[in-house]
Amino acid sequence: MGHNQPIRNSTHSSRTPLSEIPDKLYFRIGEVARLCEVPAYVLRFWESEFPQLKPNKGGTGQRLYRRRDVEMALRVKSLLKEEGYTIPGARQLLRAEFRLKEPQLSLLETGVPGSSVKQLRNLRRELQTIAAMLAKPVGKPAATPRAAAHAAKAPAVHAMRNPRRASSPAHPKTSEIPFD
């Protein structure tokens, strides 16, 4: 008998139907323990054994289970108690089920094998081009022949303000503090 095979086949089912889970945003550990009909310390142990069962912790450290966490706890209970899986076997089965789920969003969807590699290479090349453009200094753009011709035809840009004369400052200097 393999790791992921049930030890015993049970005909009774004490599993709480998913429709009996109250329609709430968060559940405390005591509520989940009642729904799963297991003590709270068992839920805490399952959290350490099954990475899929990971409730949020509030500001006070209280475990806050969402509906999917409650459903996962019920699935773990079903695998362990009713179907007779061992903990490593149940973990392996849940991992395999997770892998079989289709990704929610496929970034590179094509039917041609190897085309995703080409798309990734093109994307990398474009990102490197953008990174090179961003790495250039902001002061003066690189002069291309087209830009130089445009600059020769364009009128000179004048300053918005005239610079102050050194001979008659508006404010007398009190101390010289260099601002570099």
Tell me whether residue 51 is in a domain: yes
Domain region containing 40: 24-100
Tell me whether residue 111 is in a domain: no
Lowest mean pLDDT among 16-20, 26-30, 116-120: 16-20
Quote the pTM value.
0.49
Q: DSSP characters for 92-118?
A: HHHHHHHHHSPPS--SS--SSTTHHHH
Query: Could you tell me the pLDDT band of residue 40, with boundaries at 50, 70 and 90?
Result: very high
C-alpha torsion angle, residues 36, 83, 98, 2 (rounded to 10) = 140
Q: Does the pLDDT of residue 167 top 60, yes or no?
A: no
Closest CA to 123 of 107, 110, 135, 134: 107
Neighbours of 59 (CB within 10 A): 5
Number of domains composing the chain = 1
Q: What confidence score (pLDDT) does residue 12 get?
A: 44
Interval 115-126 mean pLDDT:
85
Tell me whether residue 74 is in a domain: yes
Residues 6+ positions from 151 with CB-CB distance below 8 Å: 143
Tell me whether residue 108 is in a domain: no
Q: What is the CATH number of the domain that holds 39?
A: 1.10.1660.10
Tell me whether residue 136 is in a domain: no
Full strand arrangement of the beta sheet holding 63-65: 27-28, 63-65, 56-57
CA distances to 13, 36, 81, 89, 101 from 9, in Å = 11, 20, 10, 15, 26
Tell me whether residue 54 is in a domain: yes
Name the region of 99 (left: φ>0; alpha: ψ -120 to 50; beta: rest): alpha
